[in-house]
Structure 1
Amino acid sequence: MKKITLLFLSLIIFCLLSEAKAQVAEISSPDGKLKLNVFSEEGKASYSVTFQGKTMLDKSPLGLITNESDFSKNLKFIDSEKDNISKKYSNKKIKKSEVEYKANTLIVSFMNADQFSLGIEFQVSDNNIAFRYEILPMKDRFSAVVESEATGYRFPVKTTTFLSPMMKPMTGFARTAPSYESGYKADAELGIKTDYGYVFPGLFHVGNEGWVLLSETGVNSLYCASHLNTTSEKDLYQVAYPNMQENNGFGSSGAAISLPGKTPWRTITIGDSLQPIVETTIPFDVVEPLYEPSQEYQFGRSTWSWILWQDASMNYDDQTKFIDLASKLNYEFILIDALWDKNIGKERMKELVQYAKSKNVGVILWYNSNGAANDAPMGPRNKMSNTVERKKEMKWLKEIGVKGLKVDFFGGDKQETMRLYEDILSDANDFGLTIIFHGATLPRGWEVMYPNYAGSEAVLASEMLYFSEDVRKQEAFFAALHPFIRNTVGSMEFGGTFLNKFLTKSNKEKNKRLTTDGFQLATAVLFQNPIQMFGVMPNNLTDAPKFQLDFMKDIPTLWDETVFIDGYPGKYSVIARRHNDKWYVAGVNAEKISKKLKLNLPMLAGKNVELINDDTSGTTFTKQVSISKKGTYEIEIQPNGGFILKN
């Protein structure tokens, strides 16, 4: 018996020593709640993450594979180095205009079988982890192609997912997919396979332990964008590079980098509630501006005829109506959409821009990104895809006084396409033009990296409400998801807030809107983008209630602070945003029954505020209400309805 006991103790000691040897580094957040461990076992690197002592990510693989050498196996731990970082920065285009970022840092170095070095840099702030790889020169090799990553995320088996599938390349309208315009499934089980993986960001609910949001940031012309994919192991998701079919098959699916070279940042946001998910600034904390702004750029609200009046409105007379509408609403811009080159022409466009200027309205013009990435026929075409033509066009745009461009129909996530995004942005800055991307990929830190960047669609947006009854039926469901997933990592040019009861020019007969006016007004706060095209129509000046028009005249698109109040993805969402000293609290309800909530609103404690809400019949009303001195307020949100409180 004594020998058996000694043997048992020896085995325990051996296991403990083996475990200690396997773990090579650890780092915690400044508040100590978030902890990351790095391991080196059997020639492979991995990491795990706990939050407040609870496992959020089990041991997950690290590493990458290049055309020159494999950094996913036969790795030997060399050393690690710890430090910390602290910085303050300002950016009026994101959810919080003034940010203070503090993180503890860890660099872990490995050597592979070819005696080449791989560094992994981690930054761990309160509720956030960002990490990236650095590859050093390989003997006489000063360039390489990163072909794939081993990077993975292994979740506890009780986890459920909120994911949007990557679209099949070269499908959809005029073969323009993928364009990040799929829907979501809420609380789905782990490991559901799709043909092309899932887009970033991805949200995961780790049972009672909390929430995990995965994304990436810092992608520019020096790398490809990536996405998530399932693996043969149900609980493990992996970073995946673009499908070779994207961009009409042109360009590599990997990333060609100069050595020493760094990958983009992989980001992980973790919390025991959804507050850190909604309020995170990690996509912007770890990136820096790539160039100086050529001027101070203007952002704000815009009218947009195409969303309901469609192609037929691309004529001089209809555009003057929407310039006049913008002027009456005190909006900064009008977006003139596709086909203006054919239906209005450059000479008359010059006149139209001058007319808009006389009304104190700036003009944003639509352009096709093509090129050869897809078959989208609308013009102007072949102006943005070629350096010489692009600069000629932008020179003309600056001369006639255009303020910005909305560039549409990109070809995927390859490095070749990332280079096109950056070239457009960089050239546009030379000519003082803001840029919005449509039919596009997720923005990855671009609000900070590119000073003239003004948002991206990358979502199942308002145009599909016009075209699809199914999307109209799910409008509230998706709206209750976006503040937690898509819009929390980057600006989202949605183009919504309709006051028409029917989503048509005539405002009758078809495309009946299935959400209330209160819901529509609430999305103007819930959805954040520095330039937002709203769906207010000329007829709304006479057929919409005055209080709704007053709200849409005053609504800002730049926010100084964003605060999570309440919600559950796909069911309901309530958030607060501050512009200067004015607070807007907005919520929507995607469930089939009304929802009664007791809100904690310390920012409005003891104040008299305006309430916009819906009654039980779905009619939207306004009245003055008082918030208790404790900052609590009870509210009922109707199905497919919404509310706003503002001081």
Structure 2
Amino acid sequence: MNIIKNHIVKNIFSKAILMMLLLSFSCWISANNLVVKSPNDKIIVGVFNSNNTENGKWFLNVKFNNNGKITEAISKIDLGLILSEGVSFDEMKLIKTSKPLLIKENYVMPHGKSSQRHNEGNEVVFTFENKEKKKLNIIVRVYNDGIAFRYSLSEKGNFTVQDELTSYLIDPETTRWTEKWNPANEGLYASMVSDKIQQEEWCYPALFQTKDNCWFLLHESAVDGTYCGSKLSNKSDKNQYKITFPDPKDGRGKGEALPKITLPWKSPWRAIIIGNLNDIVASTLVDDVAPPSVIKNMDWIKPGAVSWNYWSSNHGTKDFKTVCEFADLALAMDWPYTLLDWEWDSMGNGGKLEDALKYIHSKGIKPLMWYNSGGDHTWVSSTPKDRMLTHENRVAEFTKLKKLGVAGVKVDFFESEKQEMIQYYIDILEDASQFEMMVYFHGCLVPRGWSRTYPNLMTYEAVRGAEWYNNGPEFTTTGPVHNTILPFTRNVVGSMDYTPVTFTNSQFPHLTSYGHELALSVLFESALQHFADRPEGYYELPDEPKKFLREVPTSWDKTILLQGFPGKDVVMARNKSMNWYIGGINGENTEKTLKIKLDFLDKNKKYKLRVIKDGKHDKKLVTDDSVVGSTDSVDVKLLRRGGFVAVISPL
């Protein structure tokens, strides 16, 4: 009996101590105004001193209100910079906190996951002073769907940034989906937790799920020529993901790995999307914190589908007749564009470039053309190599392309995210915009919000896409699962040219069903969607899926995740004008039936629902039509590695 009493007393005492600590913590926060909340109160960011004293190391703590339950998303985000000349913002003193500023924006995007963009956030600027009395501002914004923070130095001077101390401490019980660092950002995502966590350098974006089911995605935005691109590394501590600068060997060792800054200066935004999985998928935070568009008239920026010959014939553009066949395909499928990939300057078998362009235009199709990024940063010698490399070369080439009626360029092989390479990307976008030329980056970095500033940037590769069916047998088995992870990771942060929807085989086969492949046209957002199959792959489809591919948009008004989990399956609905398009895939090796709720539809309206789904085997598609409303749901059976699409149009 005494043992029980002692146990009860100890419990009461422990709870009392905990309450006192929480109360003192709460008073400390409010007294120092070191907390920033989102306008909807769902995300709370606290600013702390590690020593709990006036001077010391500072960090952020991120909490999430998950339907009334407060959960800790990230326990500690270390802050600080180490500059040349012995300037260190490591041990600092907080000297000033600004009043909260409400950030509220509405803007329009001509392409992407949503057309009308709205964001709300609260901004607080924390001013710190180091031992040398130099000041560092840390700007913290807490939006309804995540947080963003950046460093700002307002004094004068020139420095090299020796290190950025930003790092994210992640609980070992938090599951993570991360891609091992590679300059082209074309790896596979691996899922790991606890003792399975690997220690590597990692690409952006990185996805995390806490044991309390709070999701967050780590990324960066508004990277420009005043800084380099960064990556994440947990090599020193498996649960500490530190921002790391480019490897000096990247880009054949050309360019400086450490960024050089001229003050006044602001760093890129460190962006964290936070919420449930739908919040992650629908978020436009990476664009929201990027600078507004520098292009006033965007009427010439036209998203659309593209026919592309490289997947089925790696040297297709060398062959005039192949180029003409893919122009014919674009015409037959009502796609506005065809891409002339590498080797267009070596074209033969009946015609040269000018003949091909003349034929393409005669069909009412607009050509896009490939370029090597050039320079010593790439080993690839494929021509034309240097026509994008300097301002003078770009002006000459864009002038020529404009006269030839070319609508845009694909620029390849960047191989580095060093500061001078970041500036090179932006110089291409700036010059292309002056000639109303659309741009597609290939062999490149992951999106950093540039499409908001330069909406002529239509898409990026930076993904292990269908091209990998050419590179070896591995993607045959890894592709189905990989496809279910991309909507929650890479494609969240910007357009992704996976080059999807292939029904025939390339050099190595795929195991995905026709329904799975068809669904990728909806699941994978890319303003220029390069449909990669050979002409007969599309011509031999039944009428219903063929009609679907003629009409499926490549830019969207709204995006909603209906259900899914990375690595298992995903179902997404995207809206364009009056119609909804749904794509769903199964990444697993077992059949399953998914119940799709239609409660996102307008109430008191009836709709025509057309579902195109797996049939009895992988190469069979069947179509069902019905009338539905917002209170209805539909069961869809998916084959192993299968999929489906649906179109919902108002009656």
Match of 2:74 in 1: 57
Which residue of structure 2 aligns with residue 147 of structure 1? Answer: 162
Whether 2:579 is the aligned partner of 1:579: answer: no
In 1, are the aligned partners of 2:495 and 2:527 still within 8 Å (CA)?
yes
One-letter code of the match for 2:133?
A: Q
Residues 82 and 90 in structure 2, CA contact (< 8 A), matched pair in contact too: no
Counterpart of 2:253?
Answer: 249
Secondary structure of 2:486 counterpart: coil
Offset of 1:68 from its aligned partner?
Answer: 3.4
> Compared with structure 1, are the counterparts of its residues 638 and 513 closer, same or farther at alpha carbon in structure 2 (3 Å cutoff)?
same
Whether 2:572 is the aligned partner of 1:559: answer no
TM-score (normalised: structure 1):
0.91
Q: Matched residue of 1:275: which SS?
A: helix
CA distance in 1, matches of 2:462, 2:634: 35
Question: Is it true that 1:621 corresponds to 2:611 in the alignment?
Answer: no
Does residue 637 of the first structure (1) align with residue 629 of the second (2)? no
Percent of pairs with identical residues: 30
Contact 1:160–1:190, Cα closer than 8 Å, also in 2: no
Deviations 1:321-347 (A, max 9, x none): 1111111111111001101112259x9
Contact 2:281 2:561 (8 Å CA) reproduced: yes
1:134-283 correspondence to structure 2 within 5 Å: 134-137=152-155, 141-167=156-182, 178-189=183-194, 192-195=197-200, 197-271=201-275, 273-283=276-286
Of 46, 57, 82, which aligns to 1:44?
57
CA distance in 2, matches of 1:204, 1:251: 33
Write the distance in 1 (CA, Å) between the matches of 2:237 and 2:486. 28
| Cα distance in 1, alignment partners of residues 363 and 169 from structure 2 | 56
Structure 1 window deviating more from structure 2 (596-605 vs 570-579): it is 596-605
1:360-509 alignment runs, 5 A limit: 360-500=364-504, 502-503=505-506
Q: Distance in 1 between matches of 2:641 and 2:198?
A: 31
Give 2:40's match in structure 1, choosing from 31, 41, 52.
31
Aligned position for 2:532: 535
1: CA distance, partners of 2:480 / 2:399: 42
Contact 2:173 2:193 (C-alpha < 8 Å) held by counterparts: no
Query: Matches of 1:370 and 1:522 in 2, distance apart?
Result: 36
Counterpart-to-counterpart distance in 1, 2:235 and 2:302: 45
Asked if the contact 1:24/1:38 (under 8 Å) is kept, the reply is: no
SS of 1:307 mapped into structure 2: coil
C-alpha separation in 1, matches of 2:291 and 2:438: 18
Cα distance change, pair 207–17 in 1 and its aligned pair in 2 (3 A): closer
- 1:474-505 per-residue CA deviation (whole Å, 9 max, x = no partner) reads 111111011100001111011110122x226x
Report the secondary structure of 1:308's partner residue. coil
The 1:624–1:19 alpha-carbon spacing in structure 2 relative to 1, beyond 3 Å, is closer
Partner Cα distance (2:293, 2:266) in 1: 15
Residues 600 and 630 in structure 2, CA contact (< 8 A), matched pair in contact too: no
User: How many angstroms apart in 2 are the aligned matches of 1:629 and 1:573?
Assistant: 20
Cα 1:350–1:206 change in 2 (3 A) is: same
SS at match of 2:173: coil
Q: Distance in 2 between the 1:468 and 1:303 partners?
A: 23
- Note if contact 1:191-1:231 (Cα within 8 Å) is conserved in structure 2: no
Deviation at 1:408, TM superposition (A): 0.5
2:317/2:340 contact within 8 Å kept? no
Q: Distance in 1 between matches of 2:175 and 2:323?
A: 47
1:72, CA displacement in angstroms? 3.9
TM-superposed deviation, 1:93: 1.5
Q: Give distance in 2, aligned partners of 1:14 and 1:455.
A: 50
Measured after TM superposition, the shift of residue 231 of structure 1 is 4.7
The answer for the alignment partner of 1:526 in structure 2 is 523
In 1: Cα distance, 2:47 partner to 2:539 partner:
63
Separation in structure 1 between the aligned mates of residue 374 and residue 484 of structure 2, nearest angstrom: 34
d(CA) in 1 for partners of 2:513 and 2:250? 39
- Which of 291, 294, 302 lines up with 1:291 in the alignment? 294
The one-letter code matched in structure 1 to 2:36 is: I
The one-letter amino acid paired with 2:160 is V
- Aligned-partner Cα distance in 1 for 2:148–2:630: 40
2:129 maps to 111
Judged with a 3 Å threshold, the aligned counterparts in structure 2 of structure 1 residues 31 and 541 are, in CA distance, closer, same or farther, namely closer
Deviation string 1:110-139 (CA, Å, 9 cap, x unpaired) is: 0011111111111111131011110121xx
Q: 1:516: which partner in 2?
A: 513
Cα distance between partner residues in 2 of 1:352 and 1:152: 52
What is the rounded CA distance, in whole Å, between the counterparts of 1:242 and 1:79 in structure 2? Answer: 33
Structure 1 pair 13/523, CA: closer, same or farther in 2 (3 Å)? closer
Does the C-alpha gap of structure 1 residues 142 and 249 become closer, same or farther in structure 2, counting only changes over 3 Å?
same
For 1:243, what is the secondary structure of its paired residue? coil
TM-score, structure 2 normalization: 0.90
CA distance in 1, matches of 2:341, 2:576: 29
Distance 1:294 1:420, change over 3 A: farther
Quick one: which of 72, 87, 91 aligns to 1:74?
91
* In 1: Cα distance, 2:18 partner to 2:510 partner: 68
What secondary structure sits across from 1:277 in the alignment? helix
Structure 1 residue identity aligned to 2:58: A
Tell me whether 382-391 or 15-24 shows the greater mean CA deviation.
Answer: 15-24
C-alpha distance in 1, partners of 2:509/2:25?
Answer: 65
Partner of 1:173: none
Q: 1:274 offset after TM fit, Å?
A: 0.6
Q: Larger deviation: 604-613 or 212-221?
A: 604-613
- In structure 2, give the amino acid aligned to 1:50: K
Structure 1 residues 601-610 or 310-319, which shifts more? 601-610
Counterpart residue identity of residue 615, structure 1: G
